[in-house]
């Protein structure tokens, strides 16, 4: 059984792309592996959220993951800042993380460019905090996107460096885990590319029906096919891809046939698509709302997750302390 760990950004609500992408796989994976899922709230401090925003977004993310089917009884679902062993391991790893390698990190260089007035030490050491997240449970598989692969490479560097330095074989090498064929990519509504928060083309699971209708009706299309059975331009293919994810096969076939016969009316297709997205997301949205209103449940879940995570983390930290030479008299 693999130890799988994934960190969830605490900013941003879940959109359809997340749902059909990684999240759907998490829900499946939790039954086959020892899974740790946590909300990376320490990481979010690099951008200085207000206390209200910090608390609100952690709560929202936790509610959304629960609503989508992560089971806190099965997986260990926790909030990073509830596990003090993580910052402890971060401090220890930082002693062997070098300025040069941290500065060369692509994500750091990008932040330097984007926020030149807030180049804080937390940004520079983001990769050691992420390594601590992973190594604290000796995770071997880490589902991440392409943009995180360099961080994972650095985690391996830090793990191997620790092993070499103390002549131990303690930390395993974690590998990035992308779902390959299983990853359904949901495109955005703006004609090209995938759905994403930063792209501004996303439909959120928590969007109200009226918002969804507005967003879908504004989706990019064209003036329609001029000859039968033409290949579809990207914007049109994208609508069909989303439709395949949320609508019945009959509905998709109906519009395929209309397209191939040059009789398609995109307005009709979008109306149908919007209603099918609403049908799909409504139960999820209602679960999100119910969970958000149930503070006791959130508290129970967070406490249970913290307890399970700390149990695993404290074992690692006591081993690491011993290896380093922090020992009792």
Of 52-60, 69-77, 129-137, 224-232, the window that binds ligand TRP (rule: CB under 6 A) is 129-137
Q: Which stretch binds ligand TRP (CB under 6 A): 4-12, 117-125, 198-206, 230-238?
A: 4-12
Q: Which is nearer to ligand TRP, 146 or 167 (CB)?
A: 146
> What is the Cα–Cα distance from 47 to 50, expressed in whole angstroms?
10
Q: Is 189 in the site for ligand TRP (CB under 6 A)?
A: no
Is 215 an active-site residue? no
Q: What is the CA radius of gyration of the chain?
A: 22
User: Is position 310 an interface residue for ligand TRP (rule: CB under 6 A)?
Assistant: no
3 phi and psi angles, rounded to 5 deg: -95, 115
Q: For residues 272-291, which are near ligand TRP according to CB under 6 A?
A: none
CA distances from 103 to 48, 98, 106, 124 (A): 21, 9, 8, 7
40 close to 133: Cβ distance less than 8 angstroms: yes
Question: Quick check: 284 and 14 in contact, CB under 8 A?
Answer: no
For 226, residues 6+ apart whose C-beta sits below 8 A from its C-beta are 262
Pick from 41, 64, 133, 276 the residue near ligand TRP by CB under 6 A. 133
Q: How far apart are CA 191 and CA 168, in angstroms?
A: 52
Q: Least distance to ligand TRP from the beta carbon of 142, Å?
A: 5
The answer to whether residue 130 forms part of the interface with ligand TRP (CB under 6 A) is yes
What is the rounded (10 degree) CA torsion for 274, 192, 179, 16? Answer: -20
Binding segment for ligand TRP among 1-9, 89-97, 230-238, 275-283 (CB under 6 A)?
1-9
Please pick, from the candidates 43, 59, 156, 215, the single residue that binds ligand TRP as defined by CB under 6 A. 43
Size of the site for ligand TRP (CB under 6 A): 12
Which residue sits closest to ligand TRP, CB atoms considered? 7
**Cα 318 from Cα 92, distance rounded (Å):** 12
Nearest approach, Cβ of residue 145 and ligand TRP (Å): 7
Among 14, 35, 40, 277, binds ligand TRP (CB under 6 A): 40
Respond yes or no: is residue 114 known to be catalytic.
Answer: no
Task: Tell me whether residue 305 is exposed, middle or buried, using C-beta atoms within 10 angstroms of its C-beta: 0 to 12, 13 to 18, 19 or more.
Answer: buried
Residue among 13, 197, 308, 315 flagged as catalytic = 197
| Residues near ligand TRP, by CB under 6 A | 5-7, 9, 40, 43, 130, 133-134, 142, 144, 148
């Amino acid at each position: 059984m693999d130890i799988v760990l994934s960190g969830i950004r605490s900013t941003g609500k879940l959109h359809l792309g997340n749902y059909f992408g990684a999240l759907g796989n998490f829900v499946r994976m939790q039954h086959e592996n020892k899974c740790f899922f946590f909300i990376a709230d320490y990481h979010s401090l690099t951008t200085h959220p207000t206390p209200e925003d910090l608390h609100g977004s952690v709560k929202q993310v936790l509610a959304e993951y629960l609503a989508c089917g992560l089971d806190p009884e099965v997986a260990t679902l926790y909030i990073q800042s509830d596990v003090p062993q993580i910052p402890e391991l971060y401090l220890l790893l930082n002693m062997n993380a070098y300025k040069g390698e941290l500065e060369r990190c692509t994500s750091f260089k990008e932040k330097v460019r984007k926020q030149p007035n807030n180049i804080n030490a937390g940004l520079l050491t983001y990769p050691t905090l992420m390594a601590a997240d992973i190594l604290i449970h000796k995770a071997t598989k880490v589902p991440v996107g392409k943009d995180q692969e360099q961080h994972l490479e650095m985690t391996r560097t830090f793990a191997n460096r620790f092993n070499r330095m103390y002549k131990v074989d303690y930390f395993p090498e974690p590998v990035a885990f992308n779902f390959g064929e299983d990853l359904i990519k949901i495109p955005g509504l703006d004609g090209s590319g995938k759905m994403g928060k930063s792209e501004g083309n996303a439909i959120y699971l928590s969007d109200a029906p009226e918002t969804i209708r507005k967003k879908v009706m504004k989706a990019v299309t064209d003036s329609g096919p001029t000859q039968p059975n033409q290949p579809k331009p990207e914007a049109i293919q994208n609508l069909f891809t989303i439709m395949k994810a949320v609508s019945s096969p009959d509905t998709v076939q109906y519009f395929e046939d209309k397209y191939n016969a040059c009789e398609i009316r995109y307005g009709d297709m979008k109306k149908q698509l919007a209603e099918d997205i609403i049908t799909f997301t409504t139960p999820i949205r209602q679960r999100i709302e119910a969970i958000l209103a149930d503070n006791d449940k959130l508290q129970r879940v967070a406490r249970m997750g913290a307890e399970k995570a700390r149990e695993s983390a404290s074992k690692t930290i006591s081993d690491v302390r011993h290896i380093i030479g922090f020992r009792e008299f």
